[in-house]
Amino acid sequence: MEVRAITPRGYCYGVVDAMTLAQRVAMDKNVPRPIYILGMIVHNRHVVEWLEQEGIINLDGPDRLRLLDQVDHGTVIFTAHGVSPQVKERARAKGLTVFDATCPDVTRTHRVIEEKVAQGYEIIYIGKKGHPEPEGAMGQAPGKVHLVETEEDLRGPSLQAEKLALVTQTTLSQWDTEDLVAKVQERYPQVEVYNEICLATQLRQQAAVEQGKDCDVVIVVGDARSNNSNRLVQVVQEQAGRPAYLVDNVTEIRPEWLEGARRVGVTAGSSTPSQIVKEVLDYLRSYDPEAPQPAHSMLEKGPIQIIPRPKS
């Protein structure tokens, strides 16, 4: 069985920068303790566990303002998904030391929303309900940003807005988004469209579709909560017409997926640690259908090094 490592895959610059910042903060003895991260820094539990080993407390929940209620002193790190101005203000008012790991691509969507609302626009924001990125984006202009996840959400009462802009979450499926944008344009011909799907997401999706077409099956390595990992599975299934499966690590690969496969593709979400992807690739490259399934991954043998620790 041939194994194709789909390229590009895995870590994007926003994720690497966020993790590097968190590690630097954890190593800095002058930073007030305790150190918290407001939400999962990126949607991968192995990265979160690694940060806990570095001494950072992870606070998780859907509402970041509420999460801040749990913090009275010390330091907070904002995640790559970005936060609302209200969260920044509350952290300042509490006297907390703040580090902001928001990806520059997310910040750009915040600026678009801010500028357009200042010019009198209402905003339709295409994004995933319950995900932290829309929460931060909607907080840029409370009451002016209307979240749309599916066509269903467009069936409500019409927005009475002469000036209307459409902005997207950074990690959506580009094909789903095209369809939804067309539906919005049908209903609101005046809408101005700002497609903010980030380049890293676009390139990973395009590679998964193009290179996945030549494969009998595609394995996507990523966390079940990672939007961009789930979208990779979806675009391979829908655009490349190939079976695709999400696995957290090597132990989740099912032999029946590989039955009769001559070529298997492997890709990974942008928050998936490279070592976990490598373990999957190594396993598949020496795959023996007669051998027992891997019951353990390197993750159970002890902490993995997510990014190299700088010399202090």
Residues carrying an active site annotation: 133
Is residue 3 helix, strand or coil? strand
Integer Cα distance of 258 and 134 in angstroms: 37
| 297 contributes a contact to ligand SF4 by CB under 6 A | no
Residue number, nearest CB to ligand SF4 = 14
Q: Which of 3, 6, 9, 12 binds ligand SF4 (CB under 6 A)?
A: 12
Rank residues 12 and 221 by Cβ distance to ligand SF4 and give the closer one. 12
Q: Which span sits near ligand SF4 by CB under 6 A: 13-21, 62-70, 138-146, 149-157? A: 13-21
With binding defined as CB under 6 A, does residue 14 bind ligand SF4? yes
In the shown chain, the binding pattern of residues 246 to 275 toward ligand SF4, with x for contact by CB under 6 A and - for none, equals: ------------------------x-----
Residues 211-250: x where in contact with ligand SF4 by CB under 6 A, - otherwise, as a string:
-----------------x----------------------
Cα–Cα dist 15/160, whole Å: 38
Q: Name the token pair of 121.
A: 């626009």
Q: Do 266 and 219 form a contact (C-beta atoms < 8 A)?
A: yes
Work out how close the CB of 236 gets to ligand SF4 at its nearest, in angstroms, rounded to a whole number: 17
For 82-202, where are the E strands, in sequence order? 97-100, 122-126, 145-148, 164-168, 192-194
Q: At what angle do helices 199-212 and 174-187 cross, to 10 degrees?
A: 120
Pick the closest to residue 94 from 123, 65, 120, 54 (CA basis).
65
- The size of the interface with ligand SF4 (CB under 6 A), counted in residues, is 15
Nearest CB to ligand SF4, comparing residues 211 and 272 = 272
In the complex, what is the shortest distance from the CB of residue 41 to ligand SF4, in angstroms, rounded to a whole number? 10
Contact yes or no for 237/210 (Cβ under 8 A): no
Nearer to ligand SF4, 103 or 281 (CB): 103
Which tokens belong to 243? 């079976």
* Phi and psi at residue 121, to the nearest 5°: -90, 155
Shortest distance in whole angstroms from residue 132 CB to ligand SF4: 11
Distance CA 185, CA 193 (A): 9
Shortest gap between Cβ of 13 and ligand SF4 (angstroms)? 6
CB atoms within 10 A of CB 311: 4
What single letter denotes the amino acid at residue 224? Answer: A
Q: Is 3 near ligand SF4 (CB under 6 A)? A: no
Q: Which of residues 69-108 bind ligand SF4 (CB under 6 A)?
A: 80, 103, 105-106
Q: Which tokens sit at 152? A: 């269903």
Where along the sequence are the contacts to ligand SF4 (CB under 6 A)? 12-15, 80, 103, 105-106, 170-171, 198, 200-201, 228, 270
